[in-house]
């Protein structure tokens, strides 16, 4: 037996959405200015300060990427075993660990890529050419630990995971 819907429309519906909608352009503008300031501080600021900023950025990125990968992994697990226990949270898992979330996290990795390409901040010791020249262990590892290889592996892995998530 189905139950009739007793929902009545009131004048207050959509008020919250309208309040938020009028602030979205300003919030995007302020966020964009903040991000441009962040990039300017990395690219043109003191190299030591840029390293500190990038370290904080990387810490936050790894935190959110861990959550994204966890949701992606649980979504993969659900699709592999078709369990019933994930049905209540499946849409959250697919939204938080889906292809759009992975592509967004890949785009948020851009400051790290730019710092490696323009030799700013030296987030990684192996990215410093002087350190590699004076350290025989880094020289030996330089076939794997190099900037082009690191960037290409990052793009390939995040792209591969996003393609898998898109295919679910």
Per-residue pLDDT of the chain (168 residues; tens, 9 = 90+): 555 566 555 556 677 788 888 888 999 999 999 989 888 888 787 888 888 888 999 999 999 999 999 999 999 999 999 888 888 999 999 999 999 999 999 999 998 998 888 877 678 888 888 889 999 999 999 999 999 999 999 999 999 999 999 987
Q: Which two tokens stand for residue 168?
A: 């679910």
- Total tally of structural domains belonging to the chain: 1
Domain around 79: 20-167
The answer as to whether 8 is a domain residue is no
The answer as to whether 138 is a domain residue is yes
Give whole-number Cα distances, 48 to 27, 41, 51, 120, 121, in Å. Answer: 30, 11, 5, 9, 6
- Note the pLDDT of residue 119: 78
The answer as to whether 59 is a domain residue is yes
- Note the pLDDT of residue 167: 87
Residues 6+ apart with CB under 8 A from 98: 72, 75, 165, 166, 168
User: What does the alpha-carbon distance between residue 101 and residue 69 come to, in Å, rounded to a whole number?
Assistant: 10
Handedness of CA 99, 104, 105, 111 (dihedral sign): positive
The answer as to whether 15 is a domain residue is no
- Note the pLDDT of residue 121: 64
The answer as to whether 13 is a domain residue is no
User: What does the alpha-carbon distance between residue 134 and residue 158 come to, in Å, rounded to a whole number?
Assistant: 33
- Note the pLDDT of residue 10: 59
The answer as to whether 163 is a domain residue is yes
The answer as to whether 1 is a domain residue is no
The answer as to whether 120 is a domain residue is yes
Handedness of CA 149, 150, 153, 156 (dihedral sign): negative
- Note the pLDDT of residue 43: 79
């Amino acid at each position: 037996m189905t139950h009739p819907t007793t929902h009545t429309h009131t004048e207050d519906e959509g008020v919250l959405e309208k309040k938020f909608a009028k602030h979205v352009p300003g919030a995007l503008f302020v966020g964009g200015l903040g991000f441009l300031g962040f990039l300017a501080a990395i690219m043109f600021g003191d190299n030591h300060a840029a390293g500190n900023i990038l370290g904080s950025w990387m810490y936050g990125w790894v935190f959110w990427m861990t959550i994204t990968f966890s949701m992606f992994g649980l979504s993969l697990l659900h699709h592999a075993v078709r369990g019933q226990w994930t049905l209540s949270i499946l849409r959250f898992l697919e939204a938080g660990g889906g292809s759009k979330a992975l592509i967004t996290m890949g785009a948020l990795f851009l400051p790290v890529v730019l710092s490696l390409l323009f030799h700013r901040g030296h987030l990684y010791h192996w990215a410093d050419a002087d350190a590699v020249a004076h350290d025989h262990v880094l020289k030996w590892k330089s076939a794997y630990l190099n900037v082009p290889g690191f960037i290409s592996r990052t793009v390939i892995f995040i792209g591969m995971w996003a393609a898998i998530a898109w295919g679910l």
